[in-house]
């Protein structure tokens, strides 16, 4: 049962040492009770207290880890309903479902496994594969494992078949789908034997909570929930209810969930998958491998699971685009990754050479950083001098973003001898500006 802040405070050293980042032990205890900090932040808590506080400190959604041959996927450990309250931690895994009987199984796996896409400097791929046992599951596992190193979900209800198939995946963390009231004992034994996670499913949240407790009595804690539901609306309602109950420390529903996006028809598969990503699914299983569908889902997932308090940043420095020469112009921007890639991609696509100076604006966009005092003449001059830009160019010519034209006079004062130009407001207009104004 969850402990109150006062109960937790009584178990802390009460030294008010401030090493945890809070002014008092009571303040730390209140944050711990709200699951907004980790117990390990306190360096002096006793081992006895650690054991007593373990339940209270544990995130309400259990962490489930799937792994295979050096790759790993973690889901769960979530502590809030909405990301702006704190953040979402572990992105849901996107899995492609394949059938064991498919004669083109190896070909499909190879194509999906090779899929990679770059987005603002990050490389995205599918997270794994779900193999449905409508044929020889053991042979399918061998085929799939020879073509990919990603984690697997095995879809079958025959304990003996799962046992033999999991024997081929020794040392891996696999997910079994799915146990219900008729087979949970046998499947729990197989999952426990092979250290696999187990999906449990039932017709209602009440029945699901009862079933998870029965599975727990078999020694299984690595559990994933199939919430069921006749349609997407019912699944979303159950998903929201399950998350809310888990955050209120209702342990039987404190597990990640799995969602099959094509269960209501392939025509709306992408829409259903997007809803599941946004509303708490831990695993999203797709039936369709189409880059034009998967890419927006990967981007949506990244945006939702980016810490809202920590913008995506690139390393400040001088970036060379299209092999710039000493006479090439010097462009300036902030280190907000989307801003950087918008500028860099437009210039690179134009084929025009340039030096791109990225200043440290704490991950803010140009206008936001300027308004916050993080992108001003002094910081721009500091970057130009600190990165020794003058040593790289023969013509001292710097281009400011159009949104901060007001800084041009101040930059001239900070950088005597430099020609300061004001560029366009939007990155898409940079190529035309460079061709017309910088020759």
Give the pLDDT band of residue 56 (cuts 50, 70, 90): low
Mean pLDDT of 104-112: 95
Query: What long-range pairs does 244-253 form, CB within 8 A, spacing at least 24?
Result: 244/81, 245/205, 246/60, 246/61, 247/60, 247/79, 247/80, 247/81, 248/60, 249/1, 249/2, 249/60, 250/209, 252/208, 252/209, 252/210, 252/212, 252/213, 253/205, 253/208, 253/209, 253/212, 253/225
User: Residue 24 has which token pair?
Assistant: 């008092």
How many domains would you assign to the chain?
3
What is the Cα–Cα distance from 45 to 25, expressed in whole angstroms? 11
pLDDT digits (tens, 9 = 90+) for 211-258: 999 999 999 999 999 999 889 999 999 999 999 999 988 999 999 999
Local structure of 145: helix, strand or coil: helix
What is the Cα–Cα distance from 240 to 128, expressed in whole angstroms? 25
Whether 310 maps to a domain, the answer reads no
Range of the domain at 225: 64-304
Local structure of 4: helix, strand or coil: coil
What is the pLDDT at residue 312?
A: 80
Q: Are residues 24 and 92 in the same domain?
A: no
- pLDDT of residue 1 exceeding 60, the answer is no
What is the Cα–Cα distance from 45 to 11, expressed in whole angstroms? 8
What is the Cα–Cα distance from 297 to 283, expressed in whole angstroms? 13
Domain boundary among 30, 57, 84: 57
- pLDDT of residue 348 exceeding 90, the answer is yes
What is the pLDDT at residue 265?
A: 66
User: Residue 342 has which token pair?
Assistant: 């918008």
Q: Are residues 251 and 165 in the same domain?
A: yes
- pLDDT of residue 35 exceeding 80, the answer is no
Domain boundary among 269, 304, 339: 304
Q: Are residues 93 and 214 in the same domain?
A: yes
What is the pLDDT at residue 307?
A: 83
Q: Which of 172, 175, 179 is nearest to 71 (CA)?
A: 172
Q: What is the CATH number of the domain that holds 31?
A: 1.10.15.40
Question: Greatest CA span in the chain, whole angstroms?
Answer: 81
Q: 277 and 297 in contact (C-beta within 8 Å)?
A: yes
What is the Cα–Cα distance from 67 to 197, expressed in whole angstroms? 11
pLDDT digits (tens, 9 = 90+) for 360-377: 998 899 999 999 999 999
Q: Are residues 288 and 399 in the same domain?
A: no
* Burial of 435: CB neighbours in 10 Å, binned 0-12, 13-18, 19+: exposed
Give the residue ranges of DSSP H helices in 254-354. Answer: 269-278, 291-304, 337-350
Exposure string for 48-73, b = 16+ CB within 10 A, e = fewer: ebeebbeebbbbbbbbbebebeeeeb
Q: Are residues 186 and 102 in the same domain?
A: yes
pLDDT digits (tens, 9 = 90+) for 154-170: 999 999 999 999 999 99
Whether 423 maps to a domain, the answer reads yes
Give the pLDDT band of residue 34 (cuts 50, 70, 90): confident
What is the pLDDT at residue 105?
A: 96
Q: Are residues 52 and 70 in the same domain?
A: no
Q: 333 and 380 in contact (C-beta within 8 Å)?
A: no
Give the pLDDT band of residue 267 (cuts 50, 70, 90): confident
Domain boundary among 304, 326, 351: 304
Q: Are residues 423 and 392 in the same domain?
A: yes
Cis peptide before 23 (omega within 30 of 0): no
Encode 10-45 in three state secondary structure: HHCCCCCCCCCCCCCHHHHHHHHHCCCCCHHHCCCC
pLDDT top residue among 328 and 308:
328
Local structure of 158: helix, strand or coil: coil
Q: Are residues 184 and 140 in the same domain?
A: yes
Q: Are residues 52 and 180 in the same domain?
A: no
Whether 311 maps to a domain, the answer reads no
Whether 378 maps to a domain, the answer reads yes
Q: 138 and 34 in contact (C-beta within 8 Å)?
A: no
Helix axes 159-166, 184-194, angle to 10 degrees: 10
């Amino acid at each position: 049962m969850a402990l109150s802040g006062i109960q937790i405070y009584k178990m802390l050293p009460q030294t008010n040492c401030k090493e945890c980042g809070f002014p008092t032990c009571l303040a730390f205890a209140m944050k711990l009770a709200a699951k907004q900090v980790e117990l390990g932040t306190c360096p002096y808590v006793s081992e006895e207290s650690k054991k007593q506080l373990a339940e209270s400190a544990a995130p309400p959604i259990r962490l489930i880890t799937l792994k295979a041959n050096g790759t790993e996927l973690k889901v769960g450990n979530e502590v809030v309903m909405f990301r702006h309250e704190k953040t979402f931690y572990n992105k849901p895994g996107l899995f492609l479902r394949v059938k064991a009987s498919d004669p083109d199984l190896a070909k499909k796996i190879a194509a999906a496994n090779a899929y990679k896409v770059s987005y603002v400097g990050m490389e995205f791929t599918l997270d794994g594969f779900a193999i449905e046992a409508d044929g020889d599951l053991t042979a399918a596992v061998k085929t799939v494992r020879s073509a990919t190193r990603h984690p697997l979900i095995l879809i079958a209800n025959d304990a003996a078949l799962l046992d033999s198939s999991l024997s081929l995946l020794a040392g891996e963390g696999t997910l079994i789908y799915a146990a219900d009231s008729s087979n949970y004992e046998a499947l729990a034994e197989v999952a426990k034997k092979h250290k696999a996670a187990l999906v449990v499913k039932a017709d209602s949240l009440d029945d699901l909570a009862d079933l998870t407790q029965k599975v727990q009595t078999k020694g299984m804690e690595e559990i994933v929930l199939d919430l069921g539901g006749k349609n997407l609306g019912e699944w979303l309602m159950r998903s929201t209810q399950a998350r809310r109950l888990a955050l209120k420390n209702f342990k039987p529903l404190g597990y990640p969930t799995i969602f099959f996006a094509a269960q209501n028809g392939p025509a709306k598969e992408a829409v259903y998958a997007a809803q599941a990503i946004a509303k708490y699914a831990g695993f999203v299983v797709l039936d369709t491998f189409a880059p034009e569908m998967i890419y927006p889902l990967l981007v949506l997932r990244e945006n939702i699971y980016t810490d809202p308090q920590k913008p995506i940043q690139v390393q400040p420095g001088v970036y060379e685009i299209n092999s710039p020469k000493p006479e090439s112009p010097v462009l300036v921007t902030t280190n907000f990754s989307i801003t950087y890639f918008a500028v860099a991609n437009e210039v690179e696509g134009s084929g025009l050479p340039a030096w791109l100076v990225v200043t440290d604006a704490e991950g803010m966009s140009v206008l936001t950083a300027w308004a916050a005092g993080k992108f001003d003449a002094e910081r721009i001059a500091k970057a130009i001098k600190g990165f020794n830009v003058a040593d790289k160019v023969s013509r001292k010519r710097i281009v400011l973003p159009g949104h901060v034209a007001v800084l041009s006079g101040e930059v001239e004062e900070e950088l005597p001898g430099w020609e300061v130009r004001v560029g366009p407001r939007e990155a898409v207009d940079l190529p035309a500006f460079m061709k017309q104004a910088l020759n």
